[in-house]
Amino acid sequence: MKNNIYAKILKRFFSSLLTIFLIITFIFILVRISPGDPTQKYISPELSPQLKESVAESFNLNEPLPLQYLSFVINLAKGDFGISYNHRMPVLKVIWEFLPFTLIFAAIVFIFQILVSLFLAIYSVKNINGFVDKLLNKLAILFYVTPVFVAGLFLVLIFSVQLNLFPSSGLSSFNSYDQSFLNKLIDYAHHLFLPLITLSLGGIAIFYKYLRDNIVNVMQEPFVLNLHANGYSNKKIFFKHILPNAVNPLISIAGIELGLLLSGTLITEVIFSLPGFGRLMIDSIMLRDYPLVVGCSFIASVAVVFSNLAADLIKFKIDKRMIQEING
């Protein structure tokens, strides 16, 4: 029995590695066949024309594409993504300077999404088909279909431009270095409030809708009626039996959402000028920094694929029915 489970996990793991490799291979080829040349910035009346050729040679850009890819694969096996054209530093070192902010911010957003959606779903099912329930369902659809950049710009227009309640960009105030630790935290929270709401709306809508519908479906199961007939309290039935069964199908969705958050909050970080991984990825694409584009793509794909893998492992752990299916 355990051998079947381990074989399933190993198969899922190796398929995840293959997916990551295919993704970064696709990105490698795509950025090189797309129009543009990273050496164009070195063409200037003040600079020698030979500089462009020397730069291209130092970056191996004058080699045929198959040879560039072969060199890339060999270096990738060594854990070497090369040197960033613009930062003049190893790619992984550049990424590590920007990644911690995104990791922390994504974790805060994810926890906020889960807590808010759980609260709204529980409140909604207590008033099924009531005014609040219908209103929340309509708002969930509205927030889900609203693009992140539209929500971000709308919040900036209302709360920054019109009401002047929150800053429109940046992570901290210019004088935050002179403040106490508590005041710094308050200043960070003040600057991150709009980005937090912007990034959370879509996830809250998804989690709320899935959780609310799952709870309603579980409440109609025969075992719930049996528990009521045996005299269990509504509170105990809901939190011990209904809610755990309703959360199980949500784990896969949570894994996808967490992976997307960890891979970089691209649009949100650009709109609010936040020093995160998503903004670094956008800048690397705009500046045609090939090694950094591939490195960012690798980290993003790892975050998405392995967050989904972690979600599957959690489902294996808590849902015994999946183990029974594997064992036939």
Taking CA atoms, 138 is separated from 23, 177, 205, 217, in Å, by 36, 44, 10, 19
* The predicted structure's pLDDT at residue 295: 85
112 pLDDT above the threshold of 90: yes
CB burial string 1-23: b at 16+ within 10 A, e below: eeeeeeebeeeeeeebeeebeeb
Residue-level pLDDT at 154: 92
**Least confident stretch, 47-51, 103-107, 287-291, 293-297:** 47-51
Q: Give the per-residue pLDDT at 283.
A: 86
CB 106 within 8 A of CB 281: no
C-alpha dihedral (246, 252, 255, 260), degrees to nearest 10:
-110
pLDDT tens for 233-267 read 888 888 888 888 888 777 777 877 777 776 557 78
* Sequential DSSP letters for 60-89: TTTS-HHHHHHHHHHHHHTT---B-TTT-S
The predicted-structure confidence for 178-193, as pLDDT tens digits, reads as follows 777 788 888 888 889 9
Range 9-27 average pLDDT: 81
Question: What's the rounded Cα separation, in Å, for the pair 258 and 305?
Answer: 10
Looking at the predicted structure, is the pLDDT value of residue 272 above 80?
A: yes
Are 293 and 107 a contacting pair, CB within 8 Å? no
pLDDT in tens, 52-95: 666 566 566 677 778 878 877 777 777 778 788 788 888 889 99
Dihedral-angle region of residue 288 (phi above 0 means left; psi in -120 to 50 means alpha; beta otherwise): left
pLDDT tens for 19-30 read 888 887 887 787
Given a contact cutoff of 8 angstroms between Cβ atoms, the answer to whether 144 and 234 are in contact is no
CA separation for the pair 180, 41 (Å, rounded): 43
Residues 226 and 272: beta-carbon distance below 8 Å: no
With a cut of 90, say whether residue 99 has pLDDT above it: no
Can you give the residue ranges of every domain in the chain? 98-289+307-316
Mean pLDDT of the chain: 80
Name the DSSP letter for residue 171.
Answer: S
What are the structure tokens assigned to 289, written together? 């920094």
pLDDT of residue 18: 85
More confident residue, 30 or 147: 147
Give me the DSSP letters along 182-250. Answer: HHHHHHHHHHHHHHHHHHHHHHHHHHHHHHHHHHHHHHTSHHHHHHHHTT--HHHHIIIIIHHHHHTTH
At 289, the pLDDT band (50, 70, 90 cuts) reads confident
Provide mean pLDDT across the span 279-304: 83
Domain at 98-289+307-316, CATH class:
mainly alpha
**Residue 242 pLDDT:** 84
Could you tell me the two tokens for 136? Answer: 């929340």
197: pLDDT strictly greater than 90:
yes
What pLDDT score was predicted for residue 26?
Answer: 82
